[in-house]
Amino acid sequence: MDYSGLDDESLLRLIAFAKTDALSEFYDRYSRLVYSLAVFILDDPESAEEVTQDVFVRIWEKAETYRAEQAKVSTWLTSITRNRSIDVLRRRRVRPEGHRVGWDDAALETLPAADLPNPEDAADKFIQAQRVRVAITTLPHDQRQALALAYFGGYSHSEIAAALGEPLGTVKTRIRMAMQKLRSILQEDRLDV
Amino acid sequence: MADEIHVTDSLAAYALGCLEENEIRAVSEHLATCPLCRAELASYVELTAQLGRSVPQTEPPAGLKQSILARLQVSDAKIAAEQEPSWWERLRSRLQGSPTWAAASLVLILVLGFSNLLLWQQVRELQSGVPASQEQLKTVVLDGSAVAPGATGMIVISLDGMHGTLVVDELPVLDESHEYQLWLIEENEERTSGAVFSVSPDGYGSVWVGSPQPLISYAGFGVTIEPTGGSPQPTGERVLGGKL
């Protein structure tokens, strides 16, 4: 059976029936996303490899728990990857002051389109990622910094406030405003398409 | 009440996971009763996923996919080794833990299968004059493949080996265009259809096995997924298999 023509939800249903070929196709579609996010959060290819393995094994074991009405497949997968990576980060006991991962200029540079099996899919993903990067460049540095610590480090408001030496209310406001602005920009982009 | 105080200002942080424990509890309680805030939260959850998709893309190591697939097989084998009870343990478990109707149907399936075979043996005994009680029914256990690792099956074969009943458990329910087909496999790998069947919503099924030659003369048995009505030869994925 050719699984490449199936949508993500159908693939997950087949994975729930223990179809390894379906998981193989799912891996081809999403391994780059999972591995890239894990590498970015952990800054360590070896740990990212372990996280990627864990994520796909979890998909294999928990595919039947996916609910399409709650989130897109890629959203669900990104959430699992981020949470698993942050778990590893917490075990390392990295404090916010020592956390170097964030949206620096290099990370926000225009990147080549992903070399995925489906060129249209690759181009679409590239355009979406590029929109997000452009939106992030519009954030003030202090908002971007606080948001990066929350998203990539998994730190709480109070941990971020302590690390930055800022009042708790200030950090809460920065993160909230950053998220509101990003959402607004990306929603407008979607309407323009 | 949902309309008392909305938690809009906390939803972005809730989606990011940067609230404190007591704040998380308060927001969760409100979300349980407020569709407006749930919709608002969904937009922030999608935004967090977009942040994840925007990081620089890195190609995974070449052997990673094979490592994952190998780990799945090890994991499945481990689960099977830890959880694989005997057929009778599985049956007993079903009878103890399942709804009454499920247990009753399973018992009925087995009773019908065995009574058919015993009836046939009595006829044979009367014809031959040889007491059947001196012999035993043959059984063949079928194990689930990687496609259906939780599935199991059993063929009970009559004393003369000419008839049998197949009982299966925990096979996935197929769509209307597909059915399961039992294959009787000879030493030379030639396959003959033994039955075409479907399973109940719980994955149970039983079917009488017909054979042009004694079932005990075959080397093994397999069950595949085929188009409805069956195929002249196997075309689909194998879900169960066992050797005599």
Comparing CB atoms, the residue among A52, A61, A176 nearest residue B12 is A176
Q: Is residue B123 within a helix (H) or strand (E), and if so which, with residue range?
A: helix B100-128
Q: Do B68 and A175 touch (CB under 8 A)?
A: no
**DSSP characters over B31-85:** HTT-HHHHHHHHHHHHHHHHHHHTSPP-PPPTTHHHHHHHHHHHHHHHHHHHH--
Strand order in the sheet with B164-169: B191-197, B178-185, B220-227, B238-243, B138-144, B152-157, B164-169, B205-209
Given a cut of 50, the residues of chain B with pLDDT beneath it are 1-3, 86, 88, 130-135
Q: Which residues of A touch B83 (CB under 8 A)?
A: none
Q: Which residues of B touch A54 (CB under 8 A)?
A: none
| CATH topology assigned to domain A1-94 | Rna Polymerase Sigma Factor; Chain: A (1.10.1740)
* pLDDT value at residue A158: 95
Q: Which residue has the higher pLDDT, B161 or A52?
A: A52
Check whether A31 has a pLDDT greater than 90.
yes
Q: Which residues of B touch A18 (CB under 8 A)?
A: 76, 146-150
CATH topology of A1-94 equal to that of A116-193? no
* pLDDT value at residue A112: 47
Q: Which residues contact B28 (CB under 8 A, 6 or more apart)?
A: none
B191-197 and B220-227 beta bridge pairing:
unpaired
> pLDDT digits over A131-154, tens only?
898 999 999 999 999 999 999 999
Interface contact B80, partner A, CB < 8 A: no
Residue A157 burial (10 A CB sphere; 0-12, 13-18, 19+): buried
Q: Nearest CA to CA, how far is B164 from chain A (Å)?
A: 28
* pLDDT value at residue A149: 93
Check whether A125 has a pLDDT greater than 90.
no
* pLDDT value at residue B133: 43
Q: Which residues of A touch B177 (CB under 8 A)?
A: none
Q: For residues B138 and B116, what is the distance between their CA atoms, to the nearest angstrom?
A: 14
Q: Which residues of A touch B19 (CB under 8 A)?
A: 156-157
Interface contact B177, partner A, CB < 8 A: no
* pLDDT value at residue B3: 47
Q: Do B46 and A136 touch (CB under 8 A)?
A: no
Q: Which residues contact B2 (CB under 8 A, 6 or more apart)?
A: B30, B33, B34, B35, B36, B37
Comparing CB atoms, the residue among B49, B72, B148 nearest residue A57 is B72
Q: Which residues of B touch A17 (CB under 8 A)?
A: 147-148, 172
> pLDDT digits over A59-108, tens only?
998 898 888 888 899 999 999 999 999 999 888 876 666 666 677 655 55
Q: Do A128 and B50 touch (CB under 8 A)?
A: yes
Name the nearest CA neighbour of A111 among A93, A130, A98: A130
Q: Is residue B169 within a helix (H) or strand (E), and if so which, with residue range?
A: strand B164-169
In angstroms, the Cα distances linking B179 to A188, B81, B194, B195, B225 are: 49, 29, 13, 10, 6
Residues 206-235 of B with CB under 8 A from A: none
Mean pLDDT across A39-63:
93
> pLDDT digits over B181-210, tens only?
999 998 888 898 988 888 887 788 877 887
Residue B46 burial (10 A CB sphere; 0-12, 13-18, 19+): middle
Name the nearest CA neighbour of A52 among B58, B187, B116: B58
Q: At what angle do helices B35-53 and A168-192 cross, to 10 degrees?
A: 80
In this structure, CATH architecture of domain A116-193: Orthogonal Bundle (1.10)
Interface contact B39, partner A, CB < 8 A: no
Average pLDDT, chain A: 85
In chain A, domain spans = 1-94, 116-193
* pLDDT value at residue A166: 95
Q: For residues B207 and A69, what is the distance between their CA atoms, to the nearest angstrom?
A: 39
